[in-house]
């Protein structure tokens, strides 16, 4: 349309003696209308926001929303491998509440999550305070601290499994040679001891995330505030408690929230190290749901075990977000 509308203009310019150089200008203006129109649309915030969010929403729908809805359907059905499921309501949840292994997994999940999160927060805060000071080889120490978090979970857990092995345990070898014990300890042979080992490995792996994130928060604190508090006579503990902690509390709460969500749903570490044993004493929701759904082929009951955790996670998330907004 733009090229056809130029011909009368060229004829008039030729008749009037005007320079023909005006033709390319008109063509350029005509061709630029469409990009300008698109740019005008993108200047509207709601259209630009929708265009930017559309790819993310598609991915979330395909990989999160659909599996979640499918999990809800499986949880209220008697679906097993090789047979279509029928709607059974809350029967699977009722069966779980009368399953002793499920009740043990329920207890283990909360014990494992809360103890590991508290230890990661305490040790991560200590490491962040240490790294916030200047000392030699600080960059090397900071890089080395990230290794447990960077190494794939399965590989690092296999190394820990070897260290806890009843026959080849490094810990047993060291303790026997220094004379602290006379017989090998079955680190993974007792339920309580095995749960302690799981918490230890989780803390070792997750503490660097706390340390680096809290270190970033500490570096945003204005040093003048510490100097003013020191002039007023505040000691190191008072400066940390009255100045540093209130300023980094929002960051700390977000890190705790992410850690609790990840630890609640932990599967790889526990399954590789103990597989829920000995005698199903270290099962958590993730490993027990896998055993029921994949090994016993009870997809409906396995899905109900997985969804049992959802209300508790939702309550934790809502409470922490409410507390963060209240603190702000």
Interval 192-249: pLDDT, tens: 999 999 999 999 999 999 999 999 999 988 888 888 888 888 888 888 898 899 899 9
Q: Which helix (H) or strand (E) covers residue 158, if one does? A: helix 153-163
Band (pLDDT 50/70/90 cuts) for residue 314 is: confident
Whether 269 shows a pLDDT value over 50: the answer reads yes
Q: What is the mean pLDDT of residues 140-168?
A: 89
Of 61-75, 113-127, 262-276, the range with the lowest mean pLDDT is: 61-75
Q: What is the mean pLDDT of residues 139-156?
A: 88
Q: End-to-end CA distance of the chain: give it in Å, rounded.
A: 58
Whole-number pLDDT of residue 1: 47
Question: Concatenated DSSP letters for 2-35?
Answer: TTTTHHHHHHHHHHHT--TTHHHHHHHHHHTHHH
pLDDT score recorded for residue 35: 55
pLDDT of residue 326: 78
Pick the CATH number of 92-327 from 1.10.150.130, 1.10.3720.10, 3.40.640.10, 3.90.79.10: 1.10.3720.10
Of 121 and 4, which is predicted with more confidence?
121
Q: What is the Cα–Cα distance from 185 to 198, expressed in whole angstroms?
A: 16
pTM: 0.81
Secondary structure class of 186 (helix, strand, coil):
coil
Query: Within the chain, which residue ranges are assigned CATH 1.10.3720.10?
Result: 92-327
Contact 24, 14 (CB under 8 A): no
Long-range contacts of 82-91 (CB under 8 A, 24+ apart): 82/297, 85/299, 85/300, 88/300
Cβ contacts of 284-293, under 8 Å, gap ≥ 24 = 284/105, 284/108, 284/109, 284/112, 285/105, 285/106, 285/109, 285/309, 287/105, 288/101, 288/102, 288/105
Query: pLDDT digits over 198-214, tens only?
Result: 999 999 999 999 999 99
Burial of 182 from C-beta contacts in 10 A (0-12 / 13-18 / 19+): exposed
């Amino acid at each position: 349309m733009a090229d056809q509308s130029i011909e009368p203009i060229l004829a008039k310019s030729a008749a009037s003696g005007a320079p023909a150089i005006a033709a390319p200008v008109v063509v350029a203006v005509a061709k630029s209308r469409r990009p300008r129109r698109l740019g005008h649309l993108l200047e509207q915030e709601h259209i630009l926001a929708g265009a930017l969010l559309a790819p993310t929403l598609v991915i979330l729908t395909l990989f999160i929303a659909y599996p979640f809805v499918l999990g809800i359907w499986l949880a209220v059905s008697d679906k097993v491998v090789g047979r279509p499921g029928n709607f059974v309501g809350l029967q699977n949840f009722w069966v779980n509440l009368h399953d002793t292994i499920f009740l043990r997994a329920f207890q283990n999940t909360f014990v494992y999550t809360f103890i590991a999160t508290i230890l990661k927060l305490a040790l991560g805060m200590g490491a962040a305070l240490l790294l916030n000071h200047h000392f030699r080889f600080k960059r090397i120490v900071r890089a080395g601290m990230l290794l447990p978090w960077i190494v794939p979970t399965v590989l690092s857990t296999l190394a820990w499994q070897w260290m806890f092995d009843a026959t080849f345990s490094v810990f047993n070898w060291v303790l026997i040679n220094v004379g602290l014990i006379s017989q090998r300890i079955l680190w993974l042979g007792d339920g309580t001891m095995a749960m302690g080992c799981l918490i230890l490995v989780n803390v070792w792996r997750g503490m660097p995330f706390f340390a680096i994130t809290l270190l970033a928060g500490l570096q945003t604190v204005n040093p003048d505030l510490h100097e003013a508090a020191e002039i007023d006579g505040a000691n190191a503990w008072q400066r940390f408690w009255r100045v540093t902690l209130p300023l980094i509390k929002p960051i700390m709460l977000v890190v705790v929230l992410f850690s609790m969500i990840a630890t609640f749903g932990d599967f790889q570490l526990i399954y590789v190290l103990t597989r829920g044993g000995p005698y199903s004493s270290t099962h958590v929701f993730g490993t027990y749901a896998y055993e029921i759904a994949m090994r016993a082929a009870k997809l409906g009951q396995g899905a109900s075990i997985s969804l049992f955790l959802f209300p508790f996670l939702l309550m934790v998330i809502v409470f922490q977000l409410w507390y963060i907004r209240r603190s702000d």
